[in-house]
Amino acid sequence: MDVRNQADRTAHSRELILDATIECLLREGYAATTTVRVQAMAGVTRGRLLHHFPSKQDLLTAAVARLGEQRLNRRLEDEDDEFDRMLGEARPGESDLGARADWAILTLWTGLMHSSFFSALELWTASRTDDELADSVRSHEKIVLDRVRENARELFGSEITRRPGYDEFFTMVFASMRGMAVTYTLSRRHPHREPMLSTWKKAARTLLLDAVE
């Protein structure tokens, strides 16, 4: 037996299972994400699934980590053509502070509306009554948020992020964005028609730019 090929097949089946778990969370919700359903979506045998994940708890804990990796590895400006069409404009220079702030707000919001957020949301809801899952979700969410903060500083640029109150502004606006994003589990409107976009942009200009200039 070729040990390397066997290892590759094992790793591939694990990836298939985790991808199916995340897709199931997104399409069908936490309650419907059973090991039987995931097995069918992944196209693997029951034995193969149980070899990797002996219980649903093991499966969901691994899915939390996988989602975290996906969200950490995404750079908001390296998205697909659909993202580019939604964003619709190039990055303004740091000296054009108003345009740069508007663009950064739009980029943050557009990136947040990725499907990985809604898969993660299913796990957040489930973790309310599952302490073990909550520990895993809490740990990975802290890592993800730290990376988002780092990325946001790059999006806004040093001319804006070094201004007094930037950290508090980011905390407030991103919390508002995440709260608004939750409503899109019911809403069918296009993210770029979100009324709060103008409010977030105005807040950036008022709190970070007008107060100094």
pLDDT tens digits along 31-52:
899 999 999 999 999 999 999 9
Q: Torsion angle of alpha carbons 19, 25, 26, 32, nearest 10°?
A: 130
The overall pTM is greater than 0.95: no
pLDDT above 90 as % of the chain: 46
3-class secondary-structure state, position 190: coil
**Structure-token pair, residue 179:** 């709260």
| Cα–Cα distance, 58 to 24 (Å, whole number) | 16
pLDDT of residue 83: 47
**Structure-token pair, residue 41:** 């979506």
Q: Torsion angle of alpha carbons 198, 200, 202, 208, nearest 10°?
A: -160
Question: Which residue type sits at 139?
Answer: S
Rg (CA), the chain: 20
Q: How many CB atoms lie within 10 A of CB 9?
A: 12
pLDDT of residue 114: 83
64 pLDDT tier (thresholds 50, 70, 90) = confident
Question: Which residue type sits at 86?
Answer: M
